[in-house]
Amino acid sequence: MTTIELDRPARRSAASLTFIVGLILVGLHVAIALLTLVWTPYDPSSTAGGRLEAPSLLHWAGTDRLGRDLFTQIMIGSRIALQVGIGAVGIGAAIGVTIGVLAAFATRLLDDALAAAFDILIAFPTLLLAMLVVAASDTASLWSAILALGIALSAIVGRLTRILAKRVLQMDFITAARTSGTSWPRIVVIHILPNIWPTLMVNFALQFGLAAIAEASLSYLGLGAPPPNASWGRLLQEAQGTVYTAPFGAIAPGLALLVLVIGINLFADGLRDVGDPTRRRSR
Amino acid sequence: MQLFARSNRRQFGATAIAASIAALGMMSVSPAVLAAADTSAVIEIGSLYEPQNLDNTAGAGQGINEAFNGNVYEALFALTDGGDVSDALAKDYSVSDDGLTYTITLQDGVTFHSGDPLTAADVKASIERVTAESSKSSRKNNLATITNIETPDDSTVVITLSERSISLPYNLSYVWIVNDAATSITDSEDGTGPYKLDQWRRGSSLSLTLADNYWGEAPTNAGVVFNYFTDATALNNALLTNAVDIITSVQSPDALAQFTDNPDFTVTNGQSTTKELMAFNDRVAPFDKVEVRKAVARAIDDKKLLESIWGDYGTLIGSFVPPTDPWYVDLTAVDAYDPDSAKAMLAEAGYPDGFTFSLDTPDYDPHPIVAEFIKSELAKVGVTVNINIITANEWYTKIYQAHDFDATLQEHVNHRDIVFYGNPDFYWGYNNPKVVELIKQSESSATIDEQNQKLTEANKLIAEDAASDWLYLYPQIVVSASNVSGYPVNGLNSQFYAYDIEKSAE
């Protein structure tokens, strides 16, 4: 494997504070999401509580109209947000990286066409594109939302991949590899991907945050995970009508979403600081 | 006849039966205000239901009934807020012994807002407007038994029927009497009501002022303005800031907190005719079995559901008939909440381990949260519910037209709509020959007592068969400034008579 040597020795220096804070916040969500697989404070469908109870020791975030524990719902929402984030970024990465690399290797005409296609897709607001995909599928489900967001994100990933891959393709060692008869799939695997990977990872982390917000928006509009999935967007939507009498029902899922997105952004920032020598030098 | 409510309401043809003896006494708002009414006051009404146009035979929506029924247009008969049918433009009427000929005498001295006098020819033309081929009125089918309308003189109308129709006066209460000289009434009007149209600002408001030379008792105010809002929160805020005097229908108990503890406002809790129900597809397994339907009805705690959705408001119902229908009897004890017997009945019906079904749920409030509640309740008796969220359009094509569903949630808004259970082709496919026969016979009853007795029996039968699961009856909540009184509290069929509204000087 050939990686472009850029200030390599310093790369393993202490991770930045933002990275650590981000990691803790994201880690917290991951831990909670995993915890919901085995334990939640209440059965999520139990309607044993009172109507719209305020936060208390029994119900840390209060209850909803049906008397269900909101903290339980928000914990499950964490799992859904991560599921959507991982799923959407996974799909976006798979499609985007593949097409991006293909474009970089393609003939001039195909490359231009793909680049234009990426630009057109990006010009569409992510949410609108996702809504189109959801509308095209028969019924709204968690998977249609993930697929929709994945497709919307793939254009951004694709364009970035294409640019990064093209830059690497101009390097001398690629010319060397080509002259020595290395096949292009092999060039992709051993030369290109390892070199563009750090930058892509930062981008994936940022996309993850975008996907979490977009899923909440879709669910808020009724196009995301259908009930009884406790998506944060749906919790927000359900709390809307009772926002005067039980404001915490809207505040709590909003806070959870905020913490996750801030965490991911700090994490991505930190990742960039670690992975991008030019930035680190300027400090 | 309207089947959907709120913004998703749509009109479908259907048959209603009618004529009446009120089941309830008139409900009236006790004026909390002792100050004298200010007859020069204009009442500002806030509503969410702006009409699409001004013609009730041209798909104008429920908003036009709210604004115009009884206010701008009158009919031969009027449906009162208590559910009675009273004479309006008909001064008197007689029915032949065979029940096939109605001879109606018109009130004297009635003129249209344009100045033309009311004649029998106007009445004939008005009924024909509703029954015409091009009419989009959902009431059309109810008048299908009319074979001939004659006008022997200017103040007499003779209606001949092909078969007895005891509900004719009730059905005629939806037929606006319009001047036959008026060609199009989609953006103007020519009625006989106490108010005439002043101005309609699309997207904003519709104002009515006093009509000149009104034949009846003059309104207790100088006019009304219907102010239209698309957002319930904005509407509530308008009342809080005195931009409107009254809200015709509040749709969430949580919006009420701002008004209930405030002496500046009056909250009235009337009875709507809107029923929330889980309609089974009675044609398909497992809901073709009466025991399964009864078991499901017993497994759901309607009282807790109603409290969750409406807090202290709303009414539990044991069948499709609300207390304002003449054939109401309290059937809440039939298949009352009893999860243990639900389990036993499921086992008896051959489902000891429960079953799984898909619940098609319209995507607007309160259906999704109701679906979640049902899912959680039925899980306790081993029945698995898959919630399938659909739009109002999908509901119409998939369920109403194609009958392609296991069970669905829907709100039915109409007064006197038990007749749907007499139609085996209706979307829920309930087919009990005895009920079909009773409902058919009730319409050709010789007397109103006979009609009531037949429909009461049909009502009991559908409850015993758990034809659907009737979850609760919506409340009709009207909120007004405390110096405003005299408004209708039940809102039957979306009507909102404005002529008795009083506003006292502060």
When pLDDT is averaged across residues B421-431 and rounded to a whole number, the result is 93
The complex's ipTM works out to: 0.77
Q: For A65, which residue in chain B has the nearest alpha carbon?
A: B308
Q: Indicate the residue of B254, B307, B387 with minimum beta-carbon distance to A226.
A: B387
Q: For a pLDDT cut of 90, what percent of chain B falls above it? A: 66
User: In terms of pLDDT, which residue wins out, A97 or B136?
Assistant: A97
The per-residue pLDDT for range A199-214, each reduced to its tens digit, is 899 999 999 998 999 8
d(CA B318, CA B301): 12
The verdict on B428 touching A (C-beta cutoff 8 Å) is no
φ, ψ at B68 (rounded to 5°): -105, -30
**Other beta carbons less than 10 A from residue A141's beta carbon:** 17
Residue A62 forms part of a structural domain: no
d(CA A266, CA A200): 16
> What's residue B404's pLDDT?
95
What token pair was written down for A124? 């569409």
**DSSP label at A9?**
G
Helix axes A142-169 and A108-123, enclosed angle (nearest 10)? 140
When pLDDT is averaged across residues B310-330 and rounded to a whole number, the result is 92
pLDDT band at B497; cut points 50, 70, 90: very high
Record: contact B255-A66, CB cut-off 8 A: no
Strands (E), B229-367: 246-247, 265-280, 356-362
**Residues of chain A with C-beta less than 8 angstroms from the C-beta of B307:** 51
Whether the per-residue pLDDT at B115 is higher than 90: the answer is: yes
Whether the per-residue pLDDT at B501 is higher than 70: the answer is: yes
**Chain mean pLDDT for chain B:** 88
The verdict on B388 touching A (C-beta cutoff 8 Å) is yes
Helix (H) or strand (E) holding B313: none
> What's residue B465's pLDDT?
95
Measuring CA to CA, how many Å separate B292 from each of B302, B349, B410?
17, 6, 20
When pLDDT is averaged across residues B346-358 and rounded to a whole number, the result is 94
When pLDDT is averaged across residues B146-168 and rounded to a whole number, the result is 94
Closest chain B C-alpha to A65 CA, distance in angstroms: 5
**Residues of chain B with C-beta less than 8 angstroms from the C-beta of A51:** 307-308, 311
Would you call A174 exposed, middle or buried from its count of C-beta atoms within 10 A (0-12, 13-18, 19+)? middle
Q: For a pLDDT cut of 70, what percent of chain B falls above it? A: 93
Q: For B301, which residue in chain A has the nearest alpha carbon?
A: A47
**Residues of chain A with C-beta less than 8 angstroms from the C-beta of B390:** 139
**Residues of chain A with C-beta less than 8 angstroms from the C-beta of B309:** 65
Q: For A237, which residue in chain B has the nearest alpha carbon?
A: B365
Whether the per-residue pLDDT at B13 is higher than 50: the answer is: no
Which residues fall within 8 angstroms of residue A100, CB to CB, at 6 or more apart? Answer: A157, A158, A159, A160, A161, A162, A164, A165
At which residue do the structure tokens 């939302």 appear?
Answer: A145
Record: contact A226-B309, CB cut-off 8 A: no
Whether the per-residue pLDDT at A153 is higher than 50: the answer is: yes
> What's residue B91's pLDDT?
94
Whether the per-residue pLDDT at A146 is higher than 70: the answer is: yes
pLDDT band at B299; cut points 50, 70, 90: very high
Which residues fall within 8 angstroms of residue A188, CB to CB, at 6 or more apart? Answer: A101, A105
What token pair was written down for B168? 């004719």
- For residue B247, the one-letter residue type is I
Residue A112 forms part of a structural domain: yes
Record: contact B311-A51, CB cut-off 8 A: yes
Q: Are strands B407-412 and B265-280 parallel, antiparallel or unpaired?
A: antiparallel
Residues 435 to 474 of B: which have CB under 8 A from any A CB? none
Would you call B75 exposed, middle or buried from its count of C-beta atoms within 10 A (0-12, 13-18, 19+)? buried
When pLDDT is averaged across residues A112-136 and rounded to a whole number, the result is 85
Residue A43 forms part of a structural domain: no
Q: Which one, of B93, B14, B18, lies nearest residue B416 by Cα?
A: B18
What residues form DSSP beta bridges with A195?
none
**DSSP label at B8?**
G
d(CA B316, CA B297): 13
Measuring CA to CA, how many Å separate B418 from each of A207, B213, B234, B412, B439?
54, 40, 36, 10, 8
The verdict on B261 touching A (C-beta cutoff 8 Å) is no
Q: Indicate the residue of B361, B369, B387 with minimum beta-carbon distance to A65.
A: B369
Closest chain B C-alpha to A142 CA, distance in angstroms: 12
Residues 101 to 160 of A: which have CB under 8 A from any B CB? 139-140
Record: contact A245-B254, CB cut-off 8 A: yes
pLDDT band at B27; cut points 50, 70, 90: very low
Closest chain A C-alpha to B409 CA, distance in angstroms: 14
d(CA A26, CA A268): 11
The verdict on A246 touching B (C-beta cutoff 8 Å) is yes
When pLDDT is averaged across residues B131-159 and rounded to a whole number, the result is 89
Q: For B389, which residue in chain A has the nearest alpha carbon?
A: A226
Record: contact A47-B308, CB cut-off 8 A: yes
**Residues of chain A with C-beta less than 8 angstroms from the C-beta of B239:** none
Q: For a pLDDT cut of 70, what percent of chain A falls above it? A: 90
What residues form DSSP beta bridges with B423?
none
Three state DSSP letters for B388-448:
EEECHHHHHHHHHHCCCCCEEEEEECCCCCHHHHHCCCCCCCCCCHHHHHHHHHHHCCCCH
Q: Indicate the residue of A65, A139, A140 with minimum beta-carbon distance to B309.
A: A65
> What's residue A8's pLDDT?
47
Q: For A64, which residue in chain B has the nearest alpha carbon?
A: B308
Q: Indicate the residue of A65, A222, A226 with minimum beta-carbon distance to B308.
A: A65
The verdict on A175 touching B (C-beta cutoff 8 Å) is no
- Is A169 in contact with A192 (CB distance < 8 Å)? yes
d(CA A208, CA A157): 12
Q: For A242, which residue in chain B has the nearest alpha carbon?
A: B254
d(CA B387, CA A206): 33
- For residue B48, the one-letter residue type is L
Helix axes A70-105 and A17-38, enclosed angle (nearest 10)? 120
Q: Are strands B195-201 and B205-210 parallel, antiparallel or unpaired?
A: antiparallel
Record: contact B372-A65, CB cut-off 8 A: no
Least confident stretch, A89-103, B29-43, B192-206, B258-272: B29-43
Q: Indicate the residue of A66, A226, A244 with minimum beta-carbon distance to B373.
A: A66
| Residue A184, helix vs strand vs coil | helix
> What's residue B28's pLDDT?
39
A interface test, pick of B369, B385, B390 with most A CB neighbours within 10 Å: B369
**Residues of chain A with C-beta less than 8 angstroms from the C-beta of B252:** 241-242
Record: contact A47-B304, CB cut-off 8 A: yes
pTM above 0.90, yes or no: no
pLDDT band at A283; cut points 50, 70, 90: very low
Whether the per-residue pLDDT at A240 is higher than 50: the answer is: yes
Residue A3 forms part of a structural domain: no
Counting the structural domains of chain A, the total is 1
Whether the per-residue pLDDT at B26 is higher than 70: the answer is: no
Least confident stretch, B139-148, B277-286, B481-490: B139-148
Closest chain B C-alpha to A241 CA, distance in angstroms: 7
d(CA B343, CA B380): 9
Least confident stretch, A174-188, B17-31, B325-339: B17-31
> What's residue A192's pLDDT?
87
pLDDT band at A279; cut points 50, 70, 90: low
Q: Which residue range(s) make up the domain with A185?
A: 18-35+68-278
Contacts 24+ apart (CB under 8 A), A194-197: A194/A1, A194/A2, A194/A3, A195/A2, A195/A3, A195/A4, A195/A164, A195/A168, A196/A161, A196/A164, A196/A165, A196/A168
The per-residue pLDDT for range B167-185, each reduced to its tens digit, is 999 999 989 999 999 888 9
Least confident stretch, A4-8, A119-123, B22-26: B22-26
**DSSP label at B305?**
H
> What's residue B33's pLDDT?
44
What token pair was written down for B343? 């389990």
**Other beta carbons less than 10 A from residue A159's beta carbon:** 21
> What's residue A2's pLDDT?
54
- For residue B283, the one-letter residue type is R
Number of A–B residue contacts, CB under 8 Å:
59
> What's residue B233's pLDDT?
81
At which residue do the structure tokens 């959680």 appear?
Answer: B376
Q: Which one, of B256, B343, B351, B348, lies nearest residue B299 by Cα?
A: B343
| Residue B125, helix vs strand vs coil | helix
Whether the per-residue pLDDT at B57 is higher than 60: the answer is: yes
> What's residue B470's pLDDT?
97
Record: contact B255-A241, CB cut-off 8 A: yes
CA B421 to chain centre: 17
The per-residue pLDDT for range B364-403, each reduced to its tens digit, is 888 989 999 999 999 999 999 999 988 888 888 899 889 9
The CATH superfamily holding the domain B275-473 is Dipeptide-binding Protein; Domain 3 (3.10.105.10)
Closest chain B C-alpha to A236 CA, distance in angstroms: 13
The per-residue pLDDT for range B69-109, each reduced to its tens digit, is 999 999 999 998 888 899 999 999 999 999 999 999 999 99
At which residue do the structure tokens 């994945």 appear?
Answer: A150
> What's residue A134's pLDDT?
79
d(CA A124, CA B414): 44
Residue A10 forms part of a structural domain: no
When pLDDT is averaged across residues A211-231 and rounded to a whole number, the result is 85
The verdict on B240 touching A (C-beta cutoff 8 Å) is no
d(CA B247, CA B256): 11
Record: contact A227-B369, CB cut-off 8 A: yes
User: In terms of pLDDT, which residue wins out, B105 or A19?
Assistant: B105
d(CA B92, CA B104): 6
**Residues of chain B with C-beta less than 8 angstroms from the C-beta of A66:** 308, 369, 372-373, 376
Q: Can you give the CATH number for the domain in which A79 is found? A: 1.10.3720.10
What token pair was written down for B378? 């039925």
State which fold the B6-27+55-186 domain adopts. Dipeptide-binding Protein; domain 1 (3.90.76)
